[in-house]
Amino acid sequence: MSGHIPVMLNEVLEMLSPRDGAHYIDGTFGGGGYTTAILEAADCKVLGIDRDPAAIARGQKLVERFAGRLTLVQGEFSRMADFADKTDGIVLDLGVSSFQFDQPERGFSFREDGPLDMRMSLDGESAADVVNGADHSTLASLIARYGEEKNARRIATAIIAARPITGTAQLAAIVSEAQGPAALRHAIHPATRTFQALRIHVNDELGELERALEASLEILNPNGRLVVVSFHSLEDRIVKQFLSGRSTAAPRGSRHVPVTAAAKPDFQLLTKSPRVPAEDELASNPRARSAKLRAGLKLAA
């Protein structure tokens, strides 16, 4: 699995706390970094899920290495309840796999020119379909919402004027020009937020995350652990609200129905504030710079 560096691996293992005889889910198998570390840390079993068929194909060597202890499934991690009855721990790394970023033909990065694709599962609507087919309002809205881009309307106007757009380099140049020369002085490339927005939209990443978090409630055993590593504020906000909202007993009822009992919390927070990468990891793996880890312990019903 060369070329793949799992982010915050030590912190993930600390929070997940693998133990002998337990069953775990790596919902974003990717390069298999977390899965390998979990299986090496304890005599346990792992179900690895990834919607990228290339990741599942690469992972077959690990299936052979950990004979009988690793099962791989191609699919969305939001469907984990379809693939497992119960589990003792779930880990989700919400970042794009290094393999996907490093393959120009996947269209995730503008560092090298490639087709505008960005589909993790290799099917459905592509980034090119969105860029060339969405109207101005839709395009500006998704760039603003998912990219948190203040110049979204200007960028949408430039994209529509330049259609058809087929490659990542072409789109990056259009967005950079629309941003103006001042944007070039920032450390982050002017097209970064637009590419992020398109990727999130094409793969319904926020919807996937919300559904996966709800699924974790269904399949985590008591004292099971949920560990999530996110890479931008939209994801982190969803994870934070999910865990904090289910870790404090809240009254059930409304202004129309009297409160009769307090709802028992589902989780105990293992991270009251997010964990972030250590300085030595940031020095060796710049892709970890925006990572935040949150975790919770499933309580008994």
72-121 pLDDT, tens digit each: 999 999 999 999 999 999 999 997 766 666 666 776 778 888 999 999 88
Q: Distance (Å, rounded) from C-alpha 100 to C-alpha 272?
A: 32
What global pTM score does this model have? Answer: 0.90
Structural domain total, the chain: 2
Candidates 296, 271, 295, 225; CA nearest to 18 is: 225
Question: Is 134 in the same domain as 191?
Answer: yes
pLDDT at 20: 98
Amino acid at 137: S
> Are 15 and 61 part of one and the same domain?
yes
Q: What share of the chain is helix, strand, coil (3-state, %, to 5)?
A: 45, 15, 35
- Nearest alpha-carbon partner for 38 in 68, 57, 66: 66
β-partners of residue 226 are: 90, 296
Rounded to 10 degrees, the C-alpha dihedral 279/274/20/247 comes to 170
Do the beta carbons of residue 32 and residue 63 sit within 8 Å? no
Q: Please report whether residue 140 resides in a domain.
A: yes
* Per-residue model confidence as pLDDT tens digits over 249-298: 655 555 555 554 557 899 999 999 999 999 999 999 888 999 999 999 99
Domain of residue 77 covers: 9-93+205-298
| Residues in CB range of 241: below 8 A, 6 or more apart | none
Task: Give Cα separations from 39 to 97, 221, 223, 282 (angstroms).
Answer: 20, 19, 19, 25
Point out the domain boundary residue: 203, 225, 250: 203
Specify whether 294 is located in the same domain as 258.
yes
pLDDT 10s digits, 172-218: 999 999 998 766 667 788 999 999 999 999 999 999 999 999 999 99
Separation CA 38–CA 45 (nearest Å): 9
198 domain residue, yes or no? yes
User: Last residue of some domain: 203, 227, 251?
Assistant: 203
- Report phi then psi at 169, rounded to 5: -65, -40
